[in-house]
Amino acid sequence: MPPPLRNKSFFASFFSKKEESFFLERKKQRTFIPALLLLALYASPAFAFRIFVSNEKDNTITVLDGANFSILKTVAVGARPRGIVLSADGKSLFICTSDADHIEVLDLASLTVTRVLPSNPDPEFLALSHDGKTLYVANEDNSQVSVLDVAEGRIVSEIPVGVEPEGMAVRPDDKIVVCTSETTSMVHFIDVATHNVVASVLVGTRPRFAVFTKDGSQVWVSSEVAGTVAVIDVATHAILHTIKFDLPEVPVAAIQAVGINLTADGRYAFIDLGPANRVAVVDPKTFEVQKYLLVGQRVWHNAFSPDEKFLYTANGLSNDMSVIDVHALEVTQSVPVGQSPWGVVVAP
């Protein structure tokens, strides 16, 4: 038993001196943001794109100008907004308001909720088919996926899956949907034609998020408690590789893999590591971790700018959004948003 360390702060034990100074720098940067924002506001005539962040604990969506990160509006929505996804035409945002037990549709022109869709209880996360017609909703509290016809606003099917379903993804050809169930620790492959689970693959404990590669040949699945990412071959359902994260300075329990995003050019995968407060940069060909980027606290989900030059992360504990320069692989800025940011989506 090593001697206990006295008077060592929680913060200090998690982070090295270098990292502490990084946080202090970040705090300093924040004080300059208002001035920068003002300059940027004058410099940019109209926003090129907007960023939407769901804030789980204050029941809002923060709408930011993608050019300068000024907050355009904070929209009040139903209780506990978590998973968000953009409609196919880019004109609206579907919001899982989990504790309100439905999905709200935010009209992106008026920034008001114009429609409410049924979802069954506790919708946590959702995925939209690429043709924009069907939403697949994970009902965390009752172990099923609800299939929602967007035009009709009607649930057309309920698919039983494992306990605490969360991650949802649709293959680019819209023929296969995957769902991760957290307590069951499985990835369920659902045939869109029959709505049957055709295979269930056991992965690391508490799988949270799934994303298909652009060609649809692989699905990447993050496991929160195991702190790993499984890369699964969609044709054979075999796990091709399990990515692990080696961060000696972070407690093992804090390394929780959650959000994943892959660049269209196949160069990088960005994997959010939750309370490890880092985003791992992975080479999708070798599965090697190239770099860890220190971001805000409990980083959950992330989204690219339309040109994929920047990545934005929702940081649940520090109530901010980190901005990552994809080319330089550096964190350039942090922007305060709402309380407990959960999801982030970019609308061109």
Partner 1 sequence: MRRPRQFFLSTAFAFFVWSPARAADDIGIVYLGLNTPHHIASTLLDPPPADPGLKGAALAVADTNTTGRFTNQHFSLGVMNEPDAAAVEMAFRLALAAGKKLFVANLPADLLLKLADTPGAASAVILDATSSDDRLRQADCRANMLHIMPSRAMLADALMQYLVSKSWSRIMLLVGRDPDDALYADAIRHAAEKFQITIRADRPWIFNAAAQQADTGHYQVNDEVVKATQGVSYDILVVADEADKFGDELAYRTDQPRPVAGTQGLVPTAWAHAMDEYASTQLQTRFHREEGRWMTPEDYGGWLAVRAIGEAATRSASADPAKIIAYLHSPDFSVSGYKGPELTFRSWDGQLRQPVLLATDRSLVSISPQPGFLHQTNDLDSLGYDQPESSCHHR
Stretch that binds partner 1, among 4-12, 62-70, 265-273, 299-307 (CB under 8 A): 4-12
- Whole-number Å distance between alpha carbons of 115 and 95: 11
Sign of the torsion formed by the C-alpha atoms of 316, 317, 319 and 322:
negative
Stretch that binds partner 1, among 52-60, 83-91, 105-113, 222-230 (CB under 8 A): 222-230
Residue 200 sits in the site that holds partner 1 (CB under 8 A): yes
Amino acid identity at 263: T
Interacting residue with partner 1 among 19, 20, 107, 141 (CB under 8 A): 141
Residue 204 sits in the site that holds partner 1 (CB under 8 A): yes
| Angle ∠(113,166,314) on CA atoms, nearest 5 | 60
Stretch that binds partner 1, among 23-31, 71-79, 103-111, 179-187 (CB under 8 A): 179-187
Interacting residue with partner 1 among 56, 164, 272, 320 (CB under 8 A): 164
- Whole-number Å distance between alpha carbons of 14 and 212: 33
Cα 163 versus chain centre, distance: 20
- Whole-number Å distance between alpha carbons of 294 and 323: 11
Residue 34: how many other CB atoms lie within 10 Å: 10
Minimum CB distance to partner 1 smaller for 104 or for 182: 182
Stretch that binds partner 1, among 20-28, 103-111, 193-201, 332-340 (CB under 8 A): 193-201
Interacting residue with partner 1 among 150, 186, 295, 321 (CB under 8 A): 186
Residue 111: how many other CB atoms lie within 10 Å: 16
42 membership: H or E segment, kind and range: helix 17-43
Residues that bind partner 1 (CB under 8 A): 1-2, 4-8, 10, 13-14, 140-141, 143, 160, 162-164, 181-186, 188, 196-206, 223-228, 230, 237-242, 244, 246, 248, 251-253, 255
